């Protein structure tokens, strides 16, 4: 197959949502339809053997939530689907933000009962920054949720994007009968099948057909009225507007019951964008270029606890990645080759010989990679747009087992390089201050340090308001500021100067007192 044909086959996307909207359940059902798994495990089951395939960390299986991005690859209708299941929990939003830099489109899952929630709005803002194409899946239609028209209005109002239904529910809750596929005039009748696939579809091109009354009874007339209203309100669906990130198609269903998922997947592989170009520090990089380039957007240690491995996730942006070929690590200005590049189905890995733009591959790493690193065939450029945000919670790392100091130092360094949290070093004494956006991250860090590195620690709260990266064209002023504010100055892992502001008031005062300094709340990693 030609290079351009391989590129056009790829569909690389992330699934995002507010916690408990059903994102990981939908992921599993997409894998089920793609033939990647034979039966789906209940995410909320207390039996560890039945937990979700995409939740591979022990702490995820225990708590029934996703705290790390999983990568899954499967074939469907002649396309190669690269699916990234992201953390739903707000404490791990930064991992999701970074993942969104590595995909070409997004499926947003909405809970029909709760509607648009705070985390949904934040995630959508990141998509809007890049005009990422979004498809909306309104989940849990078998529960007594909100009116579908009200949900559409709420999506437009709160997410600042036009929406258009491509399927429509017939009732909801206990009387939910199925969905009508507006784009190809087919009726899909609801059947509760949690682990298998239902293909019962009836073609009804004319809703006045009495067959509709026989199939859905008293709800037939309501469906006719709803579809008539939709056809009068909405223009014909524009694929171009969707690709430009201006219009979000909407599907309805129940992921837990395997319902409405096939309609979503069929339309997704048809209209979702092929691998897109990426902006680098020197130019725009096109996917169909001959020379390979890619960037690291995630690092994960100990995917397999038995082997203590460290995997860097790379998004291929151009050319073709080849196994055992030397590529330039731009930041280190060194060349490396990778004998065992891997593709994934959650934690299950298989070695590949080549990869194309849109693919996400895992590279075994001995500590050379950091998030944001670029690999090329020799060109000096760095891909842009992988942000690090100011943490909201700060705690000092305290060692509870001096015999395991080396393990603790190695563990916290590796975990913060993964992006789980940010590490700041404070002199004298190399005190370690860990910054996160949520409390749950400290629980994950403590758990992983003990179970993966054999190190025991505690966290002592610190009352800081923001971490501010400082830049200036007047080095003498920065030195003066560091001398005055020494107890609040730290270094990040890149050895950049960071001011830990105790309060909003003090930060505003220092900004006035030192106009020569610029205080940044985000850092390009």
Segment 277-322, tens digit of pLDDT: 999 999 999 999 999 999 998 887 655 555 456 788 999 999 999 9
Same domain flag for 369 and 435: no
pLDDT of residue 48: 30
Decide if 381 is inside a domain: no
pLDDT of residue 305: 54
Structurally, the chain folds into a number of domains equal to 3
Closest CA to 372 of 415, 413, 329, 421: 329
Assign residue 491 the CATH number of its domain. 3.30.70.3280
pLDDT of residue 43: 35
Same domain flag for 403 and 338: no
Per the structure, the complete domain to which residue 431 belongs is given by 387-524
What span, in angstroms and rounded, lies between the C-alpha atoms of 400 and 446?
A: 11
Same domain flag for 371 and 394: no
Strand order in the sheet with 201-203: 167-170, 178-181, 186-189, 201-203
Residue 109 · residue 16 · CB < 8 Å: yes
What is this structure's pTM? Answer: 0.79
Same domain flag for 369 and 503: no
pLDDT of residue 68: 46
pLDDT of residue 56: 44
Which of 351, 376, 401 marks a domain boundary? 376
Same domain flag for 311 and 239: no
Assign residue 347 the CATH number of its domain. 3.40.50.300
pLDDT digits (tens, 9 = 90+) for 394-443: 999 999 999 999 999 999 988 887 777 889 999 877 899 999 877 888 98
- Please list the ranges in the chain whose pLDDT falls under 70: 36-70, 87-94, 191-201, 301-309, 345-349, 385, 387-388, 524-525
Write the DSSP string, 127-156: HHHTT--EEEEEE-TTSS---HHHHHHHHH
pLDDT of residue 330: 95
Decide if 171 is inside a domain: yes
What span, in angstroms and rounded, lies between the C-alpha atoms of 405 and 396?
A: 15
pLDDT of residue 72: 84
pLDDT of residue 263: 87
pLDDT of residue 315: 94
What span, in angstroms and rounded, lies between the C-alpha atoms of 210 and 185?
A: 15
């Amino acid at each position: 197959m030609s290079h351009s044909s391989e590129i056009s086959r790829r569909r690389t996307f992330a699934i995002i949502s507010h916690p408990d909207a059903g994102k990981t359940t939908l992921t599993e059902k997409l894998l089920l339809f793609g033939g990647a798994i034979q039966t789906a495990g209940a995410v909320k089951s207390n039996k560890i053997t039945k937990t979700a395939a995409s939740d591979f960390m022990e702490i995820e299986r225990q708590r029934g939530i996703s705290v790390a991005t999983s990568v899954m690859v499967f074939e469907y209708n002649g396309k190669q689907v690269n699916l990234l299941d992201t953390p739903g929990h707000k404490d791990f939003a930064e991992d999701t933000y970074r993942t969104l830099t590595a995909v070409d489109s997004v499926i947003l899952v909405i809970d029909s009962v709760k509607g648009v929630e705070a985390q949904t709005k934040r995630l959508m803002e990141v998509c809007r920054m890049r005009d990422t194409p979004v498809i909306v899946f309104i989940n849990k239609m078998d529960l007594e949720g909100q009116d579908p028209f009200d949900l559409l209005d709420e999506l437009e109002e709160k997410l600042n994007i036009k929406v258009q239904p491509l399927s429509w529910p017939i009732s909801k809750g206990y009387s939910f009968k199925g969905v009508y596929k507006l784009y190809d005039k087919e009726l899909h009748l609801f059947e509760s099948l949690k682990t298998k696939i239902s293909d019962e579809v009836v073609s009804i091109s004319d809703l006045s057909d009495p067959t509709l009354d026989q199939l859905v009874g008293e709800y037939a007339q309501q469906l006719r009225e709803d579809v008539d209203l939709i056809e009068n309100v909405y223009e014909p669906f524009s694929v171009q507007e969707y690709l430009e990130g201006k219009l979000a198609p909407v599907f309805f269903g129940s992921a837990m019951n395997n319902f409405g998922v096939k309609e979503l997947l069929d339309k997704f592989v048809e209209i979702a964008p092929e691998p897109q170009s990426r902006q680098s520090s020197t130019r725009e990089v096109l996917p169909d270029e001959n020379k390979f380039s890619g960037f690291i957007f995630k690092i994960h240690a100990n995917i397999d606890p038995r082997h203590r491995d460290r995997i860097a996730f790379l998004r291929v942006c151009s050319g073709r990645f080849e196994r055992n070929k030397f590529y330039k690590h731009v930041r280190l200005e060194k060349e490396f080759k990778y004998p065992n590049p891997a593709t994934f189905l959650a934690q299950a890995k298989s070695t590949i010989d080549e990869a194309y733009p849109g693919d996400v591959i895992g590279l075994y790493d001995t500590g050379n990679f950091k998030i944001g690193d670029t690999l090329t065939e020799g060109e000096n450029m760095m891909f842009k747009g992988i942000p690090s945000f100011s943490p909201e919670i700060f705690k000092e790392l305290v060692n509870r087992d001096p015999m395991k100091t080396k393990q603790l130092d190695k563990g916290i360094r590796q975990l913060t390089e993964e992006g789980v949290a940010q590490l700041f070093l404070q002199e004298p004494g190399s005190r370690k201050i860990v910054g996160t956006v949520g409390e749950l991250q400290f629980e994950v860090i403590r758990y992983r340090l003990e179970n993966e590195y054999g190190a025991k620690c505690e966290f002592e709260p610190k009352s800081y308001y923001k971490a501010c990266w400082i830049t200036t064209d007047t080095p003498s002023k920065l030195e003066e500021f560091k001398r005055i504010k020494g107890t609040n100055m730290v270094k990040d892992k890149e050895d950049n100067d960071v001011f830990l502001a105790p309060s909003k008031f003090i930060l505003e005062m220092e900004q006035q007192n030192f106009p020569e300094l610029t205080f940044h709340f985000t850092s390009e990693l």
